[in-house]
């Protein structure tokens, strides 16, 4: 029986360009059998519309998005970034299990190297994934055969007056913005989400909103704008007074 003291730490790397988001619940549940998920990262060019499916579940699943621009046609920057980060973590962190989500055979050398270092490599991808990658993993699950995530029933969105009347919620949001804001009072939504996850069990879905940005936009006490790179940022309107 595995105890908390000898539980293995897991690093999850997702090639969002080559894996659908609809299986993320299965992936996280399956990896939990190996230990505790310490690192969760998804790589891709988040400006692309086809990654919207991933973008919507990043906050819910506490997955860190890593931006990769398509600098050169025919070259996949995501593959290179994932490989470099995985190797950095191999030597810098106490990680015993690596989860690799992709259908790209370019990750075969990475899986082989990780296993040579005594690590367990758990792969996930489609039936079209080349054997070079599937065979390099300790175990590989074909996502085509797995049940897709089912949407959960969500409470009806609370109106602005109800939200503003929740003192605990308003204090949490305002204090978090203050902790993450720049000199002009603007805070990136991603930083706010990360800060909240580190300090509370807050979930916007409990208020009827799928995303944190939707919750802020529903409250007229905050300004929300599109920041550089397509990311949203928010500011407390009280700051302008």
Is the whole-model pTM more than 0.85? no
Q: Which of 13, 4, 58, 72 is nearest to 36 (CA)?
A: 4
pLDDT values of the chain reduced to their tens digit, one per residue, 241 residues:
344 445 789 999 999 988 888 899 899 989 988 888 999 999 988 888 778 888 778 878 889 998 877 655 444 667 888 999 999 999 988 899 999 999 999 999 999 999 999 999 999 999 899 999 999 999 999 888 766 554 445 578 999 999 999 998 999 999 999 999 999 999 998 889 878 866 655 778 778 888 888 999 999 899 999 866 668 899 998 875 4
Say how far apart CA 172 and CA 176 lie, in whole Å. 6
Q: Regarding the domain delimited by 8-145, which CATH topology (the fold level of the hierarchy) does it fall under?
A: Rossmann fold (3.40.50)
Sign of CA dihedral 142, 211, 32, 137: positive
Domain ranges of the chain: 8-145, 160-240
Architecture category of domain 160-240 in CATH: 2-Layer Sandwich (3.30)
Say how far apart CA 111 and CA 127 lie, in whole Å. 18
């Amino acid at each position: 029986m595995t105890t908390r003291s000898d539980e293995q730490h897991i690093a999850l790397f997702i090639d969002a360009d080559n894996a659908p988001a609809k299986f993320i619940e299965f992936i996280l549940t399956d990896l939990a059998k190996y230990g505790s998920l310490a690192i969760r990262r998804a790589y891709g060019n988040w400006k692309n519309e086809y990654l919207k499916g991933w973008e919507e579940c990043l906050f819910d699943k506490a997955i860190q998005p890593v931006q990769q621009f398509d600098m050169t046609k025919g070259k996949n920057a995501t593959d290179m970034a994932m490989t470099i980060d995985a190797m950095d973590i191999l030597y810098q962190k106490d990680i015993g299990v690596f989860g690799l989500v992709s259908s790209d055979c370019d990750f075969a050398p990475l899986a082989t190297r990780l296993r040579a270092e005594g690590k367990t490599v758990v792969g996930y991808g489609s039936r079209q994934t080349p054997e070079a990658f599937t065979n390099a993993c300790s175990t590989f699950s074909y996502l085509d055969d797995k049940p897709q995530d089912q949407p959960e029933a969500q409470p009806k969105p609370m109106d602005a007056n109800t939200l503003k009347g929740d003192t605990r919620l308003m204090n949490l949001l305002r204090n978090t913005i203050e902790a993450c804001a720049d000199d002009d009072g603007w805070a990136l939504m991603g930083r706010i989400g990360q800060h909240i996850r580190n300090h509370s069990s807050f979930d916007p879905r409990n208020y009827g909103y799928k995303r944190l940005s939707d919750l802020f936009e529903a409250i007229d006490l905050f300004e929300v704008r599109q920041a550089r790179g397509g990311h949203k940022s928010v500011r407390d309107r009280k700051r302008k007074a």
